[in-house]
Amino acid sequence: MPFADRREAGQHLAIALLRFKDRHPVVLALPRGGVPVGFEIATKLGAPLDVVLVRKIGHPWSPELAVGAIADGETPERIIDEDIVSELDVPRAYLDEEAARQLREIEHRRRLYFEDRPPLDIRNHTAIVVDDGIATGATMRAALRAVRKRKPDKLVLAVPVAPASTVDSLRSEVDEVVCLESPEDFGAVGLFYADFRPVEDAVVVDLLRRAAAAQAQRASAVKPKP
C-alpha cells in the first residue's frame, strides 16, 4: 500500500515538486479528493492553493463510467470520449443535458468553495494541477485544458498514482508530469491508499481557508516596511 492517506501522498508528492518552489508556483487541486493532497504541496512549497472546478459526465445507465467531463472557465471546457459514446450509443441529447446539469453543480461548488473571492491569477506562474489519482484521465484532461486557457508560464500535472497508459496520454496536455506510482496493473485509485474515505465539502472549505491564511501571512512577512 503506497500511501496511508491523501495527506501522506501529498507530503511525498511535495518532495518531488520542491524544484518548482522558486518558479512562482500555484497549486490547483481538483475537488474534493485532490484538495488534501494539494494542501500539503502548497504548504511545503509556500504556494497559494486554489481549486479547478471540473465534473465528470457519466454514462446514463452507469454513472461511474466517464464518457466525458466539463471544467469551469469563461468558456467551459467540455471533453467527450467519442469512442465510448459511439460504442455504447450514448444519445447526444443526454450529453448536452448532463453537461448542463454538471455546470449547475460547478456553479454551486464555486459559491461554496470560493466564498465570493475570484480565482487566482496564474499568469507568469507555474500552475501545478493536483488530484489524489487518475483513472481514465477524462476529468483531468478537461481540467488541464481549462487551466491552460488561463495562460500559466508552465503547466505541471502532479498526482500520486495513475496508470502508465493514462500518464502517457496526458503528457501532450502539459509541460511536465510528476507521478509517483504508475503501474501497468492499475485497478482503481483507492487500491493505493489505506484510507480513501470520501472528502467532505467542509474539509475542502477548511483547507482552502487555512491555505489562504497561510498565504496572507507569508505575504505580510515579505511586505517592505514603510
Q: Compute the distance between CA of residue 191 and CA of residue 188 in angstroms, rounded to an integer.
A: 6
Q: Compute the distance between CA of residue 184 and CA of residue 171 in angstroms, rounded to an integer.
A: 17
42 lies in a domain?
yes
Most confident of 15-19, 110-114, 185-189, 222-226: 15-19
Q: Which pLDDT does position 13 carry in this prediction?
A: 98
Measured N-to-C along each axis, helices 201-222 and 34-45 cross at an angle, to the nearest 10 degrees, of 10
Q: How confident is the model at residue 134 (pLDDT cuts 50, 70, 90)?
A: very high
68 lies in a domain?
yes
Q: How confident is the model at residue 136 (pLDDT cuts 50, 70, 90)?
A: confident
Lowest-pLDDT range, 12-16, 41-45, 116-120, 193-197? 116-120
Q: Compute the distance between CA of residue 65 and CA of residue 162 in angstroms, rounded to an integer.
A: 17
Q: How confident is the model at residue 225 (pLDDT cuts 50, 70, 90)?
A: low
Q: Is the peptide bond before 141 cis (omega within 30 degrees of 0)?
A: no
Q: Which pLDDT does position 1 carry in this prediction?
A: 66
Q: For residue 126, give the 3-state DSSP assignment.
A: strand
216 lies in a domain?
yes
The alpha carbons of the chain give a radius of gyration, in whole angstroms, of 17
Amino acid letter at 124?
N
171 lies in a domain?
yes
CATH assignment of the domain containing 208: 3.40.50.2020
Measured N-to-C along each axis, helices 34-45 and 6-16 cross at an angle, to the nearest 10 degrees, of 40
In which domain, by residue range, is 143 found?
Answer: 6-222
Q: For residue 3, give the 3-state DSSP assignment.
A: strand
Q: Which pLDDT does position 11 carry in this prediction?
A: 98
Q: How much is the pTM?
A: 0.92
Q: How confident is the model at residue 186 (pLDDT cuts 50, 70, 90)?
A: confident
pLDDT above 80 for 224: no
pLDDT cut 70: percent of the chain above it: 98
Q: Which residues contact 156 (CB under 8 A, 6 or more apart)?
A: 17, 20, 126, 127, 128, 129, 174, 175, 176, 177, 178
What average pLDDT score do residues 109-131 get?
Answer: 92
142 lies in a domain?
yes
Q: Which pLDDT does position 75 carry in this prediction?
A: 86
What average pLDDT score do residues 153-177 get?
Answer: 97
Q: How confident is the model at residue 117 (pLDDT cuts 50, 70, 90)?
A: confident
* Number of domain units in the chain: 1
| Mean pLDDT, the chain, integer | 93
87 lies in a domain?
yes
Q: Which pLDDT does position 221 carry in this prediction?
A: 82
1 lies in a domain?
no
Condensed to tens digits (0 to 9), the pLDDT of residues 32-43 reads: 999 999 999 999
53 lies in a domain?
yes
